[in-house]
Chain A
Amino acid sequence: MKSIEELNKIRQEALAKMNLRTDEERIRIVVGMATCGISAGARPVLTAFLEEVSKRKLENVVVSQTGCIGLCKLEPIVEVYEPGKEKVTYIEMTPEKARRVVAQHIVNGNVVNEYTIGSYKSE
């Protein structure tokens, strides 16, 4: 390495990989991964979120998982927490839906209403 530009490039790339290890407020995408979630196909959903977030280099987003959310029949369930906003709960998720949630909700800030638990009830 011979220049500060190179140093900064390494820094940027390495930092993106370590982004998880802080306490700062970020958008959290939480996938329900208890037994029912896993059997309902939560793992591919989780993987899809990870791929999408990583592909788009979204630095302020963490994808994590949680235990049973308590609504087994609507699994896979995904909750999105944004600092200062109300939690959004998506139900019956698939990898395709996950990609759309990232594009529409996480990147552009528009909740994908048709996948949310609210729209399920009103049906």
Chain B
Amino acid sequence: MNLYRAHVLVCGGTGCHSSNSDKIKEKMEDRIKEKGLENEVKVVMTGCFGLCESGPNVVVYPEGVFYSHVKLSDVDEIVDEHLLKGRVVKRLLFKEAVEENIIKSVNEVDFYKKQTRVALRNCGIIDPENIEEYIAYDGYQALARALTEMTRDEVIQLVKDSGLRGRGGAGFPTGLKWDFTKKASGDKKYVVCNADEGDPGAFMDRSILEGDPHSVLEAMTIAGYAVGSDQGYIYIRAEYPIAVKRLQIAINQAREYGLLGENILNSGFNFDIELRLGAGAFVCGEETALIESIEGKRGMPRNKPPFPANEGLWGKPTLINNVETYANIPVIFQRGVDWFRSIGTEKSPGTKVFALGGKIENTGLVEIPMGTTLRDIIYGIGGGIPKGKDFKAVQTGGPSGGCIPKEYLDTPVDYESLTKLGSIMGSGGMIVMDEDNCMVDIARFFLDFTVDESCGKCTACRIGTRRMLEILEKITSGKGEPGDIEKLEELANNIKDSALCGLGQTAPNPVVSTLKYFRDEYEAHVYEKRCPSGHCRRLVTFVIREDLCKGCGLCKRNCPNDAITGEVREAHVIDPEKCIKCGTCIEKCPFGAIEKR
């Protein structure tokens, strides 16, 4: 056995991969060889570290030195200085990893220190393409225990006792779902993993699959044993090529090691898993539409009931869980129900992974115990709002969710609290908005998404959401009329009540929640033809303040449409007829004399 004195972990998640982390890994290995260090230093490609914005990211163990924004041209310096001579390359350290000249290890950085990694426990730590690294970190121990020491009912009881709830959005108790599927009558049953992940900006599930694919395979196999199924499917969008590739490698390795296939661990239990690629329609994440799609039909939702647990894939009882839900299963078996319940809250035990985005210092993937407040996530881990701007709202749950305003920043994140505020936990999208965001426009953005993604099966959703979008477009372009707001509310209620599937039923949420907390912004647009945040271009006018203008002429020279006139050292003026509202002049004015009104 060859013992290495240092491991260099290069992030191979989608984010870092797109900025050439694979080439960095190659070059690193070449340089290490050149320096004769290949028997001392090992280079490993891992899944996402969660800080994709500052990628490509590299961590060197045993010290835990965290390099970010690593370029191909930095590789030689890291090898020659750090790996050969032991001198950390300070200029490449992640910005928060140096404090008063002390270099912090990766786990000491605030962004990680405040997280609790359960579903992401192995992401960024193990090589996802090497089953032995997963096994080293207790992988497949849960399956071994379930198959050799536990009855099917005991397995289900354990999942029930853990209190685990579905991470795909609705928060349905996982153990209960397993029980329904086990009790459903039928000789053939299926286990499905929902990896469709269609929320704009969400990449939690992708990161788990890229960073720790075996945890999902192991959990599905345990589920198969519990419900009495011998065939699993992972439904994943084709736009996730890295995740697809790593899953396929993982499946092949698990088969090779006898952890998938016939007579697993000599228990007499057979189980296999196959991938099914989706075209990436949002509605295909809805479980019944997903089933139709696997069956080769067009992905349109079915009526419920019957629920998939009774009549799912090809009419057979089918268990469907989300990627993150599965990723929690093996570790619950390893560390026990009491441990799991000690994290999070009474009704929402465990953690939740969020994709933190928008107007926030550290965008990225974070995993926090349920019950953590929005404030802790946004300010503690996320590092707050950039450029000293004011926080306005946070959007959770993507197109099915809502906006939560400042007053509720101290709300603990759990299923019930978020629902009470008119939003939802959802699958884990979390978008932060500051004073420059227009809430009407945010609602428009999400409605635009749903209108595109509606499958068209029912009128309420197909026509209703389009009507809502038209009204929102009218309002944001300054053509809103009295009665529009009321019309939006009426449509929202109708769609909620009559849409067939969750997509339509929740589509009005972004409008309803912004109307609830930011009605004044809607009213300003409609009645005063004014956008309070200055975002809606067609509703703002650019004006030069006579008292502040020094007549330097910079704005005039930079205006692309010659909309500004004025003599040197005299106040300038903008011709509103000519101004195309590009904003250049505001940026250029050295005296802050130009305002949006």
Known contacts A11-B135, A38-B85, A62-B62: A50-B3 contact under CB 8 Å: yes
A112 within 8 A of B: no
Q: Is the CB of B7 within 8 A of A50?
A: no
Q: Is the CB of B265 within 8 A of A3?
A: yes
- Shortest distance from the beta carbon of B138 to any chain A beta carbon, whole Å: 7
**CA of A13 to CA of B144 in the docked complex: distance in angstroms?**
18
In chain A, positions 1-56 with a C-beta closer than 8 Å to chain B are: 1-4, 7, 10-11, 13-18, 20-21, 23, 26, 28, 30-35, 38, 46-47, 50, 53-54
Contact mask for chain B residues 248-267; partner A; CB cutoff 8 A; 1 contact, 0 none: 00000000011100010110
- Shortest distance from the beta carbon of B192 to any chain A beta carbon, whole Å: 26
- Shortest distance from the beta carbon of A3 to any chain B beta carbon, whole Å: 6
Q: Is the CB of A4 within 8 A of B265?
A: yes
Q: Is the CB of A54 within 8 A of B105?
A: no
- Give the residues in chain A near B139, CB-CB below 8 Å: 11
- Tell me which of A28, A32, A65 has the highest count of chain B C-beta atoms within 10 A of its own C-beta: A65
User: DSSP class of A's interface residues: helix, strand, loop or mixed?
Assistant: mixed
A67 within 8 A of B: yes
**CA of A122 to CA of B363 in the docked complex: distance in angstroms?**
57
- Give the residues in chain B near A62, CB-CB below 8 Å: 5, 62
B84 within 8 A of A: yes
Give the interface residue-count category, chain A. Answer: 35 or more
**CA of A17 to CA of B4 in the docked complex: distance in angstroms?**
7
Give the interface residue-count category, chain B. Answer: 35 or more
- Give the residues in chain B near A31, CB-CB below 8 Å: 86
Known contacts A14-B133, A23-B107, A46-B40: A33-B86 contact under CB 8 Å: yes
Known contacts A7-B141, A33-B84, A64-B86: A14-B266 contact under CB 8 Å: no
**CA of A53 to CA of B62 in the docked complex: distance in angstroms?**
15
A74 within 8 A of B: no
Q: Is the CB of A3 within 8 A of B86?
A: no
**CA of A13 to CA of B6 in the docked complex: distance in angstroms?**
17
- Shortest distance from the beta carbon of B105 to any chain A beta carbon, whole Å: 7
A119 within 8 A of B: no
Q: Identify A17's interface contact among B3, B40, B86, B258, CB under 8 A.
A: B3
Contact mask for chain B residues 91-119; partner A; CB cutoff 8 A; 1 contact, 0 none: 00000000000000101000000000000
Q: Identify A4's interface contact among B63, B133, B144, CB under 8 A.
A: B144
Q: Identify A21's interface contact among B125, B132, B135, CB under 8 A.
A: B125
Q: Is the CB of B257 within 8 A of A21?
A: no
**CA of A25 to CA of B265 in the docked complex: distance in angstroms?**
35
User: DSSP class of B's interface residues: helix, strand, loop or mixed?
Assistant: loop
- Shortest distance from the beta carbon of A28 to any chain B beta carbon, whole Å: 8
Q: Identify B61's interface contact among A16, A20, A57, CB under 8 A.
A: A20
Contact mask for chain B residues 134-165; partner A; CB cutoff 8 A; 1 contact, 0 none: 01111111001000100000000000000000
**CA of A19 to CA of B138 in the docked complex: distance in angstroms?**
13
Q: Is the CB of B136 within 8 A of A2?
A: no
Q: Identify B135's interface contact among A14, A26, A35, A53, CB under 8 A.
A: A14
B171 within 8 A of A: no
- Give the residues in chain A near B64, CB-CB below 8 Å: 23
**CA of A77 to CA of B2 in the docked complex: distance in angstroms?**
24
B1 within 8 A of A: yes
- Shortest distance from the beta carbon of B109 to any chain A beta carbon, whole Å: 12
- Tell me which of A15, A18, A23, A46 has the highest count of chain B C-beta atoms within 10 A of its own C-beta: A18
Q: Is the CB of A67 within 8 A of B3?
A: no
- Tell me which of A23, A47, A57 has the highest count of chain B C-beta atoms within 10 A of its own C-beta: A23
Known contacts A3-B265, A33-B86: A17-B144 contact under CB 8 Å: no
* Smallest Cβ-Cβ distance to A29: which chain B residue: B5
- Give the residues in chain A near B141, CB-CB below 8 Å: 7, 11
Q: Is the CB of A7 within 8 A of B144?
A: yes
Q: Is the CB of A34 within 8 A of B85?
A: yes
Known contacts A21-B61, A46-B5, A54-B3: A15-B136 contact under CB 8 Å: yes
Closest CB pairs A-B (n = 3)? A54-B3, A14-B136, A65-B86
A-B contact pairs, 15 of them (CB 8 A): A7-B141, A17-B2, A17-B4, A20-B7, A20-B61, A21-B9, A23-B64, A23-B107, A33-B86, A46-B40, A50-B3, A57-B1, A62-B62, A64-B86, A65-B86
Given A4-B144, A7-B140, A21-B7, 9 further pairs, Cβ under 8 A:
A1-B265, A2-B263, A7-B265, A11-B138, A32-B86, A46-B5, A64-B63, A65-B86, A67-B86
